[in-house]
Amino acid sequence: MLRTWFTDAHYAARRLRARPVYSLLAVLTLALGIGGTAAVFGIARLLSAPAM
Q: What is the dihedral of CA 34, 40, 46, 47, to 10 degrees?
A: -170
pLDDT band at 50 (very low <50, low <70, confident <90, very high): confident
pLDDT of residue 49: 78
User: Which one-letter DSSP state was computed for residue 51?
Assistant: P
**Domain range list for the chain:** 21-52
pLDDT of residue 51: 67
Q: How far is CA 8 from CA 2, 4, 12, 25, 31, in A?
A: 10, 6, 6, 21, 23
pLDDT in tens, 20-44: 999 999 999 999 999 999 999 999 9
Instruction: Report pTM.
Output: 0.65
